[in-house]
Chains A and B, each alone.
Chain A
Amino acid sequence: NAGVTQTPKFQVLKTGQSMTLQCAQDMNHNSMYWYRQDPGMGLRLIYYSASEGTTDKGEVPNGYNVSRLNKREFSLRLESAAPSQTSVYFCASSSRLAGLTDTQYFGPGTRLTVL
């Protein structure tokens, strides 16, 4: 089992460029999440998908869009990148959003720099 995979691992963009971060999980989990991690701060939720076919905004959704392509895949799109979006992005999955004993499993992260 690969767990949660993310591509790419590193990316440098210029302001205004667009890109899509890909995430896939092979654990048959229902729920998937996108977080960003900035220095000195906790992880912040960008978007999540409680189940296939649904997506919801998290704490910091502005400037991002998501697609739950199928049960395995959840992508994050930056339509017009800004320097404030320089961050490390993590995808995670869990069996159920409301599962009180369910933990989240994380991918290795994408380090994004916007110049």
Chain B
Amino acid sequence: KQEVTQIPAALSVPEGENLVLNCSFTDSAIYNLQWFRQDPGKGLTSLLLIQSSQREQTSGRLNASLDKSSGRSTLYIAASQPGDSATYLCAVKDSNYQLIWGAGTKLIIKP
């Protein structure tokens, strides 16, 4: 059974720092991996989607990498801002086309 883990559960860093969020999964048979952002009391918003054949995707200050063989993905946030404060979730699309989710990393950027 596919399991997705995100460590740490929470992270607090000063504004301006570059940071890395981690996601690991147990079964490498995935179609894609996605990173989402969740703001308090709101729904989820897709940030980046990496297909299984890709190594990374970039959008603005965000860069996500995928190493399928080792079951790992990272989300790199450059020059963090207070507006980046949110919970970041990763999810893998498994062989049944369903998304399997990690519990998320709650990120706080201190001004």
Contact = CB atoms under 8 A, between A and B. Distances in A.
Interface stretch (B37-45, B67-75, B78-86): B37-45
A106 B45 contact: yes
B102 A48 contact: no
Interface residues of B, number: 25
Contacts of A40: 9, 103
Contacts of A92: 44
B50 to A, nearest CB: 10
A43 B101 contact: yes
Contacts, number: 53
Contact of A98 (B49, B91, B97): B97
Interface string A1-31: 0001000000000000000000000000000
A19 B102 CA distance: 29
Interface of A: 4, 40-45, 48, 58-59, 90, 92, 97-98, 100-101, 103-109
Interface of B: 4, 9, 31-32, 34, 41-46, 49, 51-52, 89, 91, 93, 97-104
